[in-house]
């Protein structure tokens, strides 16, 4: 009887739907409605969603404009045991490294905050993502639209 | 002109009836109807009898509508759509009432558990019902937006299945780099 019960339980677990069971075209629509922080969160929930984020090109458009919020939330959410020991520079580098790696080279657009890391980051992203079309620099509320070839 | 009835057969062989005007809310069904391939019953092997009534409920509400009230003029007016497209001020008011009523209806319609949410997203995608897909996908997105990984796991009954080594890679931000940084 116990065996039958276990079996039934196992069967229920198998049949229980999982977010990653949805087809990629549905996941893409969901991911399109989310911002960078949400996508970072979802990509570290479990293996299948981690893969889905790459497969669905969740990180093809990277918008760092609300950098203050991103860094604050990232510090609380993604930093290990000692969140306050980590510098802003490192938070940016880590996030950029993570998303560029998991974009599988498919970053198409980046909108940067106005910050000193931009030049080295541009070189890094350009090397990893040959298809990048546009970098935008947030410069005191104005956007500078330019093609990567200028660098 | 009264609306033709269409019969839909779920994956578990149960048959449901729907007005043709309502069925047209689904791009897939619309193509079948317009393609003249209508042979009594339309089989829907990807939609179970648990979810099909819910889909039909949505189609009834939105059938012949497709986002604008103009198409209602084509005859198939059902009881939910008594507004005729007169272009006057009254129309604006009625339109507003209609939108408010629709919002309220959507709120009640969208009150269901997660299993239904998955099934509805799949059905809406399969049947190409854009409005229903938008609605359900937005609900899923709202269960993710602004949440920590743990909260997302809780919302969607997800177990973290990373190995300890992978778990380490999932620490997005570390205070010290283990290896050489790619930028340098």
- Asked whether A105 and A128 are in contact (CB, 8 A), the reply is yes
Nearest-CB residue to B137 (from A33, A79, A85): A33
Beta partners for A134? A109
**Quick one: pLDDT at residue B72?**
39
Residue B54 forms part of a structural domain: yes
Residue B159 forms part of a structural domain: no
Q: What domain count does chain B have?
A: 1
Residue B157 forms part of a structural domain: no
- Asked whether B18 and B59 are in contact (CB, 8 A), the reply is yes
Q: CB distance A80–B144 less than 8 Å?
A: no
- Asked whether A24 and B121 are in contact (CB, 8 A), the reply is no
Task: Encode chain B (184 residues) as per-residue pLDDT tens digits.
Answer: 457 889 999 999 999 999 999 999 999 999 988 887 667 789 999 999 999 999 999 999 987 654 444 333 334 444 455 555 556 788 888 889 989 999 999 999 999 988 899 999 999 999 999 999 999 999 999 999 999 999 999 999 888 888 888 887 777 787 665 544 445 4
Residue B31: give the domain boundaries. Answer: 5-142
**The CATH number of the domain where B30 resides is what?**
3.30.710.10
**Quick one: pLDDT at residue B173?**
81
Q: CB distance B157–A40 less than 8 Å?
A: no
SS3 A123: helix
A26-39 pLDDT, tens digit each: 999 999 999 999 99
Return the residue in A45, A71, A72, A84 with the most chain B beta carbons within 10 A, the one to mutate for interface testing: A45
Phi, psi of B66 (to 5 degrees): 50, 40
**Quick one: pLDDT at residue B100?**
92
Residue B10 forms part of a structural domain: yes
Nearest-CB residue to A94 (from B125, B159, B172): B172
Here the tokens at position B93 are: 């008011």
**What is the average pLDDT across A112-119?**
68
The owner of tokens 């991103």 is: A70
Cα–Cα distance for residue pair A48/B77, rounded to 1 Å:
46
Laid out side by side, the sheet with B41-43 consists of B15-19, B5-9, B41-43
Q: Give chain B positions within 8 Å (CB) of A78.
A: 171-173
A79-97 pLDDT, tens digit each: 877 778 888 888 888 898 8
- What residue of A is the nearest CA neighbor of B167? A44
Cα–Cα distance for residue pair A125/A53, rounded to 1 Å:
18
Q: Which residues of B touch A (CB under 8 A)?
A: 114-115, 118-119, 121-122, 125, 133, 137-138, 140-141, 144-149, 152-153, 156-162, 166, 170-175, 181-183
- Asked whether A104 and A131 are in contact (CB, 8 A), the reply is no
CB atoms within 10 A of CB B159: 9
Q: CB distance B173–A30 less than 8 Å?
A: no
| pLDDT tops 70 at residue A11 | no
**Quick one: pLDDT at residue B70?**
39
- What residue of B is the nearest CA neighbor of A69? B146
**Quick one: pLDDT at residue B150?**
92
Nearest-CB residue to B156 (from A19, A79, A94): A19
Nearest-CB residue to B175 (from A41, A82, A98): A82
**Quick one: pLDDT at residue A146?**
41
Cα–Cα distance for residue pair B129/A139, rounded to 1 Å:
42
Instruction: Give B99: exposed, middle or buried? Use CB within 10 Å, 0-12, 13-18, 19+.
Output: exposed
Q: CB distance B137–A26 less than 8 Å?
A: yes
B59-103 pLDDT, tens digit each: 999 876 544 443 333 344 444 555 555 567 888 888 899 899 999
Residue B161 forms part of a structural domain: no
Report the 3 state secondary structure along B6-34. EEEECCCCCEEEEEHHHHCCCHHHHHHHH
Q: CB distance A22–B114 less than 8 Å?
A: no
Here the tokens at position A13 are: 């677990």
pLDDT classification of A16: cutoffs 50, 70, 90: low
A15 min Cα distance to partner chain B (Å): 10
Q: CB distance B138–A90 less than 8 Å?
A: no
**Quick one: pLDDT at residue A127?**
85
A54-83 pLDDT, tens digit each: 999 999 888 888 888 888 899 888 887 777
Here the tokens at position B77 are: 């007016």
**Quick one: pLDDT at residue B123?**
95
**Quick one: pLDDT at residue B147?**
94
DSSP category for residue B2: P
Stronger pLDDT, A104 or A10, i.e. the higher one: A104
Nearest-CB residue to B157 (from A16, A25, A37): A16
- Which string of DSSP letters, residue by residue, matches A35-93? -HHHHHHHHTT-HHHHHHHHHTTTTSEEE-TTHHHHHHHHHHHHB-S-GGGS-HHHHHH
From the list B36, B52, B171, B156, the residue with the least C-alpha distance to A90 is: B171
Average pLDDT, chain A: 78
Q: Give chain A positions within 8 Å (CB) of B182.
A: 97, 124
| pLDDT tops 50 at residue A1 | no
Residue B48 forms part of a structural domain: yes
């Amino acid at each position: 009887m116990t065996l039958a019960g276990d079996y039934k339980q196992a069967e229920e677990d198998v049949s229980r739907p999982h977010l990653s069971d949805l087809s990629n075209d549905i996941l893409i629509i969901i991911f399109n409605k989310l911002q960078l922080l949400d996508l970072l969160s979802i990509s570290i929930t479990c293996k299948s969603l981690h893969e889905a984020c790459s497969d669905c090109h969740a990180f093809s458009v990277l918008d760092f404009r609300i950098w203050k919020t991103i860094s604050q939330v990232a510090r609380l959410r993604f930093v290990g045991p000692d969140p306050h020991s980590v510098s802003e520079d490192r938070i940016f580098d880590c996030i950029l490294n993570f998303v560029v790696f998991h974009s599988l080279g498919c970053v198409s657009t980046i909108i940067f905050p106005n910050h000193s890391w931009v030049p080295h980051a541009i070189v890094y992203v350009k090397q990893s993502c040959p298809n990048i079309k546009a970098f935008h620099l947030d410069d005191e509320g104005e956007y500078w639209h330019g093609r990567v070839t200028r660098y | 002109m009264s609306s033709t009835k269409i019969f839909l057969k779920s994956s578990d062989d149960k048959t449901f009836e729907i007005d043709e005007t309502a069925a047209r809310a689904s791009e897939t069904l619309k193509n079948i109807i317009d393609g003249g391939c209508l042979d009594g019953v339309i089989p829907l092997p990807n939609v179970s009898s648990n979810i099909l009534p819910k889909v039909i409920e949505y189609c009834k509400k939105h059938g012949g509508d497709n986002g604008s009230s103009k198409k209602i003029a084509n005859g198939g007016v059902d009881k939910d759509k008594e507004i005729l497209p007169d272009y006057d001020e009254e129309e604006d008011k009625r339109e507003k009432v209609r939108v408010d009523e629709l919002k309220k209806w959507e709120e009640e319609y969208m009150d269901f558990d997660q299993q239904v949410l998955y099934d509805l997203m799949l059905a809406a995608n399969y049947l190409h019902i854009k409005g229903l897909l938008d609605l359900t996908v937005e609900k899923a997105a709202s269960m993710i937006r602004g949440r920590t990984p743990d909260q997302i796991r809780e919302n969607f009954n997800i177990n973290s299945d990373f190995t300890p080594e992978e778990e380490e890679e999932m620490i997005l931000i570390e205070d010290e780099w283990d290896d050489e940084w790619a930028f340098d």
